[in-house]
Amino acid sequence: MTNPKLLNNLTVEDLTRQPCWKFFMLDNIEFVLPVEKEEISETDSDNYIVLTEFFLNDKTKHFGFCSPQDTSGLDYIQPVIITPNGHLPLYFDTIKNIDLPELTNKIINKEIDKVFPLTFITRIKCGKEYYEGQVDNFNSLAD
């Protein structure tokens, strides 16, 4: 069995090599483990993240991941763009005390208006179809 990887260390290369990963937590630390699945379901007992393509407002394409098993809100889907500078989450528990323009420039080297609105589509099916959506701006549960 492959050793688990810290979620924050997951790369685009990891996801393109294996587009589906089991997500789990140990001692409040997020881990992922590659799995051989071509499709996931909302009824699966495990949680998964899957390779996702993001199409930014400036028409550039980036890769990352999301969890499309429960699509009832961005807080469940948790889309994340991966760049050589790190992970850019599109959802936060709170965006208080986060300088979003600085974060966007640091991680993706773009102004916010070049990023949003963006669209995304998964590269693993969930419930027999690829999940796609749009994100108009950074989101949080509580501002």
pLDDT per position as a tens digit, 20-36: 999 999 999 999 999 99
Query: Residue 1 — pLDDT band, cuts 50, 70, 90?
Result: low
Q: Is the pLDDT of residue 142 over 70?
A: no
User: Please, are residues 53 and 114 in contact by the beta-carbon 8 Å criterion?
Assistant: no
pLDDT average, residue stretch 114-127: 96
User: Please, are residues 121 and 114 in contact by the beta-carbon 8 Å criterion?
Assistant: no
Whole-number pLDDT of residue 139: 87
Give the count of domains, the chain. Answer: 1
Task: Determine the structural domain holding residue 109 and report its residue range.
Answer: 5-142
pLDDT average, residue stretch 71-83: 94
Whole-number pLDDT of residue 138: 93
